[in-house]
Structure 1
Amino acid sequence: MSKSAFLYGNITEEVYVKQPPGFEDPAHPNKVYIVVKALYGLQSSPQEQGMNELFHFTLKHHGYRRGAIDKTLFIKKDRRDIMLVQVYVDDIIFGSTKSSMVKDFEDLMQKEFKMSSMGELTFFLGLQVKQTTAGIFLSQDKYVKDILNKFDFRTIKPASTPIEAHKSLGKDEEGEDVDVHLYRSMIGCLMYLTASRPDIMFVVCLCARFQVTPKVSHMHAVKRIFRYLKHQPKLGLWYPKDSPFHLEAFSDSDYAGDNHDRRSTSGGCQYLGRRLVSWQCKKQTIVAISSTEAEYVAAASCCAQVLWMQNQLLDYGFNFMNTEIHIDNESTICIVKNPVLHSKTKHIQIRHHFIRDCYEQRLINVVKVHTDDNVADLLTKDFDLARFNFLVVTIGMMNP
């Protein structure tokens, strides 16, 4: 991690600052300083490219190349070994299949920049990382504890699921208003938690739809999520070392699940072997006139994520074309495989039909999966306790 990352970047705008107390120029007390380096507190500092470009130039000079998709990723290969460097503002994560490459990178950073090595990765941007010989476990139980304390839910009664099964949540225009700032603060904290908790993704996104005028019923639903977190504070994602390494995806949707505008919710998740690496939950922008159309729109959204991951993985040296997308709707699969527009599909917006081209180019392949085995179900609707627990385990979550 850099001790002064912004100071390595030149700013491109003309910025002046007052003379700071204790550093006034006695010969020119009424003059101001012109800023030539990015500083913490400046609105444009995180956007300045000076540090990033200097970092890029330094690594390029030592045999690294920048990722084609992710410009904050730097890669160096040595025959069958690879070194990966991921930069996030002034934090750096790096790892390699060869220990000597790690040591060389540490020496380079300490020589070229004022860097301090924090050792093996255990904590990053709120994510707790536990590395073992069997695999890696990601969780946010410290963050769960913090937000339970923040909203004074230390003694709240635990709940076994994040939402009551088969209980609809609508606008409730006749309901009593609640503190909008408190509601939004709670939603914001929960949204950050979804970085490692797909088990609450659906209900958090559902409650987030009512941030404009939240009612008592919505607040009760949010508190139910916190009650569930009290019950399962340490649940996280397990990435086994011995898992196969291939890209596959699952897509699903509910049909007209929103009671107000009857729009559906798309859900998708992507795996590398048995490792869940990406998941999505989003309310659709169109009103589907059939469950097939809702599933088709969800599949197109999942396909877009798969294409991005395919291109990203090319930087790592893996070519995962013809990726399988598992769908539990037979009619949707038929539409994807049929390049001819007909009366049942011509009303669907053109932007959703790109999935057909991806199928014809063998970038993806659509595969039928039984509804009971579709793990993306967890991201689109609520369930009773037995089904919910099954999906949580199947999607790849566990307690440490």
Structure 2
Amino acid sequence: MQQKSQATSIVLQFIALVDRQFPYTTRPSMNVIDRKWIFRVKYNSDGTIQRYKARLVAKGFQQYAGVEFTDTFNPVIKASTIRVIFTLVVTYNWEIRQIDFNNAFLNGEIAEIVYLSQPAGFVSTSHPQHVCKLQKALYGLKQAPRAWFHKLKEALRTWGFISSTSDTSLYKHNDNFLLLLVYVDDLLITGNNAPLIQTLIQDLQNRFALKDLGLVKDFLGFEALRTTIGLHLTQSKYTTDLLIKTKMHSAKPVPTPMSATLKLHVASGPAFSDPTLYRSTIGALQYLTYTRPDIAFAINKLSQYLQKPTELHWTTCKRILRYLKGTVHRGLHFTSASSLHLQVYTDADWASSIDDRRSITGYCVFLGTNLLTWSSRKQSVVVRSSTKAEYRALAHASTEVAWLRSLFSELGISLINTPVIWCDNQGVGALAANPVFHSRTKHIEVDVHYVHEQVLDQKLVVSCVPSTEQVADLFTKPLSIPRFQYLLTKLNLAVSPGCA
């Protein structure tokens, strides 16, 4: 009964978007898009049933590009931007509210001519050959996300919000310090003026149908728990669901996500019998790395074998799941930053890939003690020395610092000191300060020039750190248990309060 009630509600909204008389009959020149009903059960963050949902969607894969749709891209907020804002929220003790738009895509307006067949169960008995001409967007249409983005952007502009150049899904008010983070139909609002936040939510409610979810608790599958000492961000429910899906919920936990002695390559044993299972599991684990930097390297490594996974690759993947079994409630912890000072650790594991001898780049960026962003990836070219590999890693980290500086500048927040990049290669530090080009460094000349200009302009400082304190080792290689556990304490990861 609940599903039927939801379906009736959706149909009534649908009828408002089309010509109610169905005046267009089918012609041979028409491309009539099919439609279908989608039924879902929506759950709360604790796993209880929230509601039953029905939605009429269009089969957008039947549309023709350039005729029935043009632009489709809908920008969303970057995960690193979310972490930056959470750090500022805790540091300045701001309120952060969350809202969810109801049927957001139905608000978008489309300029193209799109015809849709009549909804199943609601076909006109007197004119069964008629079709619907859409006046607004419908879920499933290729241009629906883009149409909604423009609709929301226009509304925000009328209220004095401008889009950030560093992240187009971050909006800042011209006159007041209010920030909006947009991820399709989910919105976070924060700032230093709680009454203005409430006024903005009321304005949005007058313009769109939405749900005010109050203080942020569950955003994009992240559970956010605000305490007196900070904010804890985890994906506990997502992790538990993944373990159940892969039948690893009763597995024995292990202390590290990857064995320190393991050497993976393309031909590591016989082919795995179910490549689809391997790919879907790795894809699910990729999303988990948004709050779990401790598995970033292992996931990056296994992602290189999606085309032809072997039994050893799947066994290694199950080891990650076993590691997660013992750390379900672990996540990022944000505390008040005593000093707004950026520190970056960067490292490279030279020629570590057995298959093509490319190096692994890893870096992590901290604001105070809070981890903002990190990366673990294979370099795009083969380099002939460890210095080249380290310098490419340094250049990648430098671009991330430049982006963060731009973001903080737009927010009107000044960093106390010049950002410091820590590396454990003395040759890299010397080359950054005094670039001397010869046959062994000419292949990285562009990277050298870029970093050197940043150093000369006092936009960053390159310093040397002992290898024993190089936090970025977590993102470049598998580590022994003691080494992994030691570096893990540097990432400001913690178990969610009440789950220890």
CA displacement at 1:338 relative to structure 2: 2.1
CA contact (8 A) 1:64 1:76 kept: yes
1:271 aligns with 2:337: no
Q: How does 1:246-325 map to 2 (within 5 A)?
A: 246-320=341-415, 322-325=418-421
1:347 aligns with 2:446: no
Distance 1:38 1:247 in 2: 43
- Does the residue aligned with 2:189 lie in a helix, a strand or coil? strand
CA contact (8 A) 2:421 2:463 kept: yes
AA matched with 2:235: Q
- Greater shift, 162-171 or 25-34, is seen at 25-34
Q: What TM-score, normalized to structure 2?
A: 0.76
Choose the corresponding residue for 2:289, options 171, 189, 194: 194
Distance 1:188 1:349 in 2: 36
- Percent identity between matched residues is 34
CA contact (8 A) 1:243 1:275 kept: no
Choose the corresponding residue for 2:160, options 63, 84, 89: 63
- Greater shift, 59-68 or 185-194, is seen at 59-68
CA displacement at 1:352 relative to structure 2: 6.2
Q: How does 1:1-400 map to 2 (within 5 A)?
A: 1-25=100-124, 28-48=127-147, 51-76=148-173, 82-172=177-267, 175-320=270-415, 322-348=418-444, 350=446, 353-400=449-496
- Does the residue aligned with 1:347 lie in a helix, a strand or coil? helix
CA displacement at 1:175 relative to structure 2: 2.6
Distance 2:119 2:266 in 1: 52
Distance 2:404 2:334 in 1: 18
Distance 2:379 2:259 in 1: 23
The answer for unaligned runs of 5 or more in structure 1 is: none
CA displacement at 1:171 relative to structure 2: 1.6
Q: What is the aligned length?
A: 396
CA contact (8 A) 1:86 1:92 kept: yes
1:265-285 Cα deviation digits (max 9, x unpaired): 000111111110111000011
Distance 2:344 2:117 in 1: 55
CA displacement at 1:340 relative to structure 2: 3.8
Distance 1:199 1:22 in 2: 50
The answer for unaligned runs of 5 or more in structure 2 is: 1-99
Distance 2:448 2:237 in 1: 40
Distance 1:174 1:225 in 2: 19
1:31-87 Cα deviation digits (max 9, x unpaired): 221212111111221233xx3333333333323222122222111265xx6211111
Q: What TM-score, normalized to structure 1?
A: 0.94
CA displacement at 1:297 relative to structure 2: 0.6
CA displacement at 1:22 relative to structure 2: 4.8
- Greater shift, 13-22 or 33-42, is seen at 13-22
AA matched with 1:44: Q
- Does the residue aligned with 1:65 lie in a helix, a strand or coil? strand
| Pair 155,27 (structure 1): closer, same or farther in 2 beyond 3 Å | closer
- Greater shift, 14-23 or 95-104, is seen at 14-23
- Does the residue aligned with 2:257 lie in a helix, a strand or coil? coil
Distance 2:220 2:483 in 1: 32
Distance 2:124 2:305 in 1: 54
- Does the residue aligned with 2:391 lie in a helix, a strand or coil? helix
Distance 2:373 2:223 in 1: 17
- Greater shift, 323-332 or 346-355, is seen at 346-355
CA contact (8 A) 1:300 1:353 kept: no
- Does the residue aligned with 1:170 lie in a helix, a strand or coil? coil
Distance 2:246 2:155 in 1: 46
Distance 2:381 2:154 in 1: 46
| Pair 351,333 (structure 1): closer, same or farther in 2 beyond 3 Å | closer
Distance 2:135 2:342 in 1: 46
CA displacement at 1:21 relative to structure 2: 3.5
CA displacement at 1:128 relative to structure 2: 0.9
Distance 1:39 1:377 in 2: 47
AA matched with 2:257: P
RMSD: 1.9
Distance 1:262 1:316 in 2: 42
Distance 2:220 2:370 in 1: 20
CA contact (8 A) 2:239 2:324 kept: yes
CA contact (8 A) 1:253 1:295 kept: yes
- Does the residue aligned with 2:276 lie in a helix, a strand or coil? helix
CA contact (8 A) 2:269 2:312 kept: no
Distance 1:24 1:346 in 2: 70
- Greater shift, 31-40 or 137-146, is seen at 31-40
- Greater shift, 251-260 or 319-328, is seen at 319-328
- Does the residue aligned with 2:255 lie in a helix, a strand or coil? coil
| Pair 216,95 (structure 1): closer, same or farther in 2 beyond 3 Å | same
Name 2:13's counterpart in structure 1: none
- Does the residue aligned with 2:213 lie in a helix, a strand or coil? coil
Distance 1:101 1:358 in 2: 39
CA contact (8 A) 1:244 1:274 kept: no
AA matched with 1:89: V
